[in-house]
Structure 1
């Protein structure tokens, strides 16, 4: 098959890590960090070919995804909605690298689970 007959899609992922974030709507949540389980996937404009000696610059450091969902969150800022946390993560990743075509952030609020269910949301945003 000729390379001109194929179209690649490269998805980088960091899944199911926990971060404590100031978030919540109710008064008992205000001022207290809550544990969130966050997964981030990024669709990156793919390199032409990935050969054994392809340099790191042809992809993206996976730790950039984790950084955007942890250390890049502003310290001391209370996010009323976890949707705002996801929004901040997506914008950070778009600003980091122009090759990022789309970002998906899944957040599960661990503190409100009663029987192990996963309660949360997923935000997907594509670059226009």
Structure 2
């Protein structure tokens, strides 16, 4: 039997320089970012399991907030997603990662307009 653990962090607000149009490129835009990471995991976690048996889900939040340097312009939000996934894949236990990015400036009402990028190894 194999076991996978999926860690999730949802709806982190990130201010980043992104876009292709002149009105987008000079001011940071608010992106709403969600991340899912699949990890290799033991079949069962004992009640006294240690954090090293898993992964701190705050690492996912840190990957979102600290991966993209301030002032760096990303033409496509896909590149932002790739940078976050690259950061997560520094941990060999991560077998797959998905980053969902919503460009809040494009949304009206309850719409969620953006991209979802998944990579596995």
TM-score of the two chains, using structure 1 as the length reference: 0.90
Question: How far apart are 1:114 and its partner, in Å?
Answer: 2.9
Counterpart in the other structure of 2:87: 92
Counterpart in the other structure of 1:73: 68
More displaced 10-residue stretch of structure 1: 83-92 or 40-49 = 40-49
Q: Which has the larger share of strand?
A: 2
Give 5+ residue unaligned stretches, structure 1.
Answer: 1-5
User: Quick check: which has more Rg, 1 or 2?
Assistant: 1
| TM superposition outliers: structure 1 runs of 4+ over 3 Å | none
Q: How does 1:1-128 map to 2 (within 5 A)?
A: 6-95=1-90, 97-127=91-121
TM-score of the two chains, using structure 2 as the length reference: 0.95
Give 5+ residue unaligned stretches, structure 2.
Answer: none
CA RMSD of aligned residues (A): 1.0
Question: How far apart are 1:27 and its partner, in Å?
Answer: 0.3
Question: How far apart are 1:8 and its partner, in Å?
Answer: 1.8
